[in-house]
Amino acid sequence: MRILHLTYKIKKGELLSDYLTLLITNEKAQSAEVEVATTKKEFSKMLSSFKPDIVHIHTCWKLNAFACAKKAKHNGCALLFSPHGELSPLAMKSEEPLRKKICSAAYQRKTVRMVDAVLATSEQEMNDIAQLGWNKRMDFVPSCLLNRSISANEMATSVLQVYTKVIDTRYRRYMDSLEWQCLCAILHTGLQQDPANKIIPSKRLLELRGLTPQQWQRMLICADDEFVRNYVDIGIERLLLAIPNIDTPKILRYMPYMQKAEGELERTKIETGNFLAKSRYENAKEEEEDTIKQIATMLANAKVLLKQKRFSLLHLSQIYQIIRFEDYDEDRLLVILRRMRLLKFARRMVHILSEYLYIEDGYAPFAPLDDKKVRPIIESLINKDKY
């Protein structure tokens, strides 16, 4: 792990400097690669040459820290912020309160909201920061200089665990298109009613067998978060894949900002607050057979969840299953979806099913549509930036 610490100065005898010196020394002793920057220029240089996995900011009420945080975020680095008591009610009210009020509005609140998590040095400090409501992802690791119950080595170990927790929470940012395609290939295999039905390209099978343990970890965590782990496990077994032993529930992570909707897609009622759209949907499918009603309802609900960025791979899988394995009048479905003004959306979903879950042409109820609105649907499903 490569760690870049940002502070405003290192001066022996000062509490923050002594804390950082001990932390860095013990992080290095645990095989971490560590650098420290004290100026904006130095930080920019190290950001490009050192290429840190995580940036740990130790300076508060400094505009340069906000600028450095923005640059690190733009470069794709994980960000952790430690205010070291500077955000306590006492510090904010008794030490230059007017300046800090202006700085809060200008950049300090934005800095805290921008970072992946906040690390305090005591439970009280963590509670004080929570009261501000600027960031919900928080942890605390006591400082060995202020708490004799923890050694410098134990402190460094705990901080490194927080770094790992931050990075594992950001797993979607590190997943590339290959990992998504491989995950969906396994999911396709697990969804088949006939285990012998495997239409995955041979190239994809070779890619699956060449995945690293880190790639498998990200894919399995994603399968958990998308509620398709049971299908993925079945797919792994059917494809005879040898995977590393990864106990994903034991991997520490923060709660997602935008968690996917749990449970199956609603099949009987349309869950939208738009009264006109709901009336149009209900009237269009009123006298249709059950399967057509269910497909139309699921597609309408899928559109709602996609706008909320809560549509999951489980929901996509359910649309795949009902379209692929159920019997229905395809021409009649087309008419109903046109009345509901959902036909273009449904055709885009068929394109995604074709690209990601390998639905065959003979089972697609209508021609897929690959237009400029497909990419936003895929981005909402993957949701790299806001998850």
Per-residue tens of pLDDT for the chain, all 387 residues: 999 999 998 888 899 999 999 999 999 999 999 999 999 999 999 999 999 999 999 999 999 999 999 999 999 999 999 999 999 988 888 888 898 899 999 999 999 999 999 999 999 999 999 999 999 999 999 999 999 999 999 999 999 999 999 999 999 999 999 999 999 999 999 999 888 776 788 899 999 999 999 999 999 999 999 999 999 999 999 999 999 999 999 999 999 888 899 999 998 887 776 766 667 667 766 667 889 989 999 999 999 999 988 999 999 999 999 999 999 999 999 988 998 899 999 999 999 999 999 998 889 999 999 999 999 999 988 988 777
Beta bridge partner(s), residue 33: 2
CB 85 within 8 A of CB 91: yes
Residue 269, pLDDT score? 85
User: What's residue 94's pLDDT?
Assistant: 83
- Strands annotated E in 42-142: 54-57, 78-81, 117-120, 138-140
- Type of residue found at 373: K
User: Is residue 144 a contact partner of residue 152, using CB atoms and an 8 Å limit?
Assistant: yes
Per-residue confidence (pLDDT) for residue 276, from 0 to 100: 67
Give the DSSP letter string of 198-219.
----HHHHHHHHT--HHHHHHH
- Residue 213 has what pLDDT? 96
The two three-digit tokens of residue 172, written as one number = 């979607």
69 burial type by CB count under 10 A (0-12 exposed, 13-18 middle, 19+ buried): buried
**Tokens 């894949």 correspond to what residue?**
241
The pLDDT score that the predictor gives to residue 281 is 67
* This prediction's pTM: 0.89
**Calpha distance 36→139 (Å, rounded):** 22
The three-class DSSP label of residue 36 is strand
The residue among 179, 191, 187 whose CA lies nearest residue 321 is 191
Comparing CA positions, the residue from 175, 187, 161 lying closest to residue 211 is 175
CA atoms in the 13 A half-sphere facing the CB of 33? 9
Q: In what order do the strands lie in the sheet with 117-120?
A: 33-37, 2-6, 54-57, 78-81, 117-120, 138-140
Q: Angle formed by the axes of helices 15-29 and 152-169, to 10°?
A: 80
The beta strand positions in 315-368, using DSSP E, are: none
Q: Looking at residue 115, what DSSP letter applies?
A: S
| Predicted local confidence at residue 200, as pLDDT | 82
> For 224, phi and psi rounded to 5 degrees?
-65, -50
Res 287: pLDDT: 64
